[in-house]
Structure 1
């Protein structure tokens, strides 16, 4: 074999991979990437398909799991005729008013107190043991006391929701003010800032992400607790509608009430997320 043939074969073998270069890892990942919304839509569609399949197959009696078309028909009837002599929007309004009133009162008291106890060591030492004792107690346990002290009217329900929101808002505001880096405090001292200036310019902005975390948890729990609060002595609201329909075995109305609670809770959470994105615009950057 001539010696000149070896280099030719080597050059040909070296040029062969270049004609069909492998995909770059980043390009391959881009091809395999599926948007998150596709997975979300797929999961919802699968759940609806399972619901249709179970109701059509007869595995569960319609009295226990209504078909989707039954719920839609019942929802239209509720929109037209209301429930127990009151429009559907009136029940939603009652629950929202109780929730937002108690939540707003809890925020107005809990955020300043949490910031103060987190920033001031002595105040934290006084308040923290009390909050650590109250925090594990479930809010439902306070329903009898709310009825005893405030009666069956609106005030007892608002006070119960206030307790829930105050508990979580104060805890997160305290953590946000107490856990800011000590280097920031020393930097403010070196710049000659007063304690008030340090609090306003450093501690408060640094605590805002933690505060909004507490707000979102408190709002979700407040919206959940209003259902329990409306089980006692209420004549309106989504919680009243669910409990009354369950006693009358109107299961489609129960499902619709639960769905409305979930949808409104989602809307409240999205609203708070939008506010957080505007106020704490530096978060995650």
Structure 2
């Protein structure tokens, strides 16, 4: 509770500094708008939307791209990570490919995805999938590798087949690390989503921020940035809450 109070206090202090700076006009309002202007723009966006679409529609489009990509990330990276962590031969096949593209900035190959798939959702979902796949794959494979060999051998000696070994031993043991990897994957994917919408899109929160900046609407830019930050905090907070409740024993 005390740490939460400190966090809330830091946000309040930041808001006070923002208010004072804009009130005394130390910075041009075109660069940093007043909190009242940002709030007014937020209310206008709720009532009228932006460029023919409601604010909720822009948010929904962004979340659709994010969660579709994360679904494909989860159903591919987790099984493949378990297989690669369990078998060095399978890892030798896939590791070079993943290690090659993993350090590349996602926007470096986004031009190819747009060329192949167009500027619609397909290219964005593919980009998000590629950006989020590697962190979850690495976390899953590393978690399997650190499983005690005695635990696996004991299960096999007691009659467990490969399917039971995966379902009752490997997956439950790796689940906490998989959730940690998923949190990392969500963070990388979310940042990539905003960048992708800024490069080639006609809707979404990232596109709205970029479009507003072209017309020097810093108030709308601030609304978009604040909304993106709040959404990211909520997503991560939900995962942290589940992780704390489901795996309270981890690290103790």
TM-score, reference length from structure 1: 0.83
Distance 2:157 2:200 in 1: 59
Identify if the C-alpha distance between structure 1 residues 36 and 281 changes in structure 2 by more than 3 Å, giving closer, same or farther. Answer: closer
Instruction: For residue 154 of structure 1, report the CA deviation from its aligned partner.
Output: 1.3
Provide the residue aligned with 1:3 in structure 2: none
Distance 1:145 1:271 in 2: 34
Distance 1:191 1:242 in 2: 59
1:60 is aligned to 2:34: no
What's the RMSD between the two structures over aligned residues? Answer: 1.7
Distance 1:233 1:195 in 2: 45
Q: Which of 192, 200, 212 is equivalent to 1:245?
A: 212
Distance 2:129 2:97 in 1: 17
Q: Which of 66, 77, 87 is equivalent to 2:54?
A: 87
Instruction: For residue 278 of structure 1, report the CA deviation from its aligned partner.
Output: 4.9
Q: Which of 124, 143, 157 is equivalent to 2:110?
A: 143
Count of matched residue positions in the alignment of Structure 1 and Structure 2: 252
Q: Would the aligned equivalents of 1:152 and 1:233 in 2 still touch at CA under 8 Å?
A: yes
Higher relative contact order (CA 8 A, sep 6+): 2
1:35-66 Cα offsets, whole Å, 9 max, x none, are: 11221122112111111121122211111111
Provide the residue aligned with 1:22 in structure 2: none
1:216-266 Cα offsets, whole Å, 9 max, x none, are: 111122111111111233111001101100111111101110111110111
Provide the residue aligned with 1:210 in structure 2: 177
Provide the residue aligned with 1:154 in structure 2: 121
Name structure 2 gaps, 5 residues minimum.
none
Instruction: For residue 281 of structure 1, report the CA deviation from its aligned partner.
Output: 5.0
TM-score, reference length from structure 2: 0.94
Q: Would the aligned equivalents of 1:172 and 1:214 in 2 still touch at CA under 8 Å?
A: yes
185-194 or 198-207: which moved more?
A: 185-194
Provide the residue aligned with 1:98 in structure 2: 65
1:120 is aligned to 2:104: no
Distance 2:47 2:74 in 1: 36
Name structure 1 gaps, 5 residues minimum.
1-33
Distance 1:279 1:146 in 2: 38
75-84 or 231-240: which moved more?
A: 231-240
Distance 2:135 2:41 in 1: 37
The 3-state SS of whatever aligns with 2:53 is coil
List structure 1 segments (4+ residues) > 4 angstroms apart after TM superposition.
Answer: none
1:45 is aligned to 2:7: no
Provide the residue aligned with 1:222 in structure 2: 189
Structure exhibiting the larger radius of gyration computed from Cα positions? 1
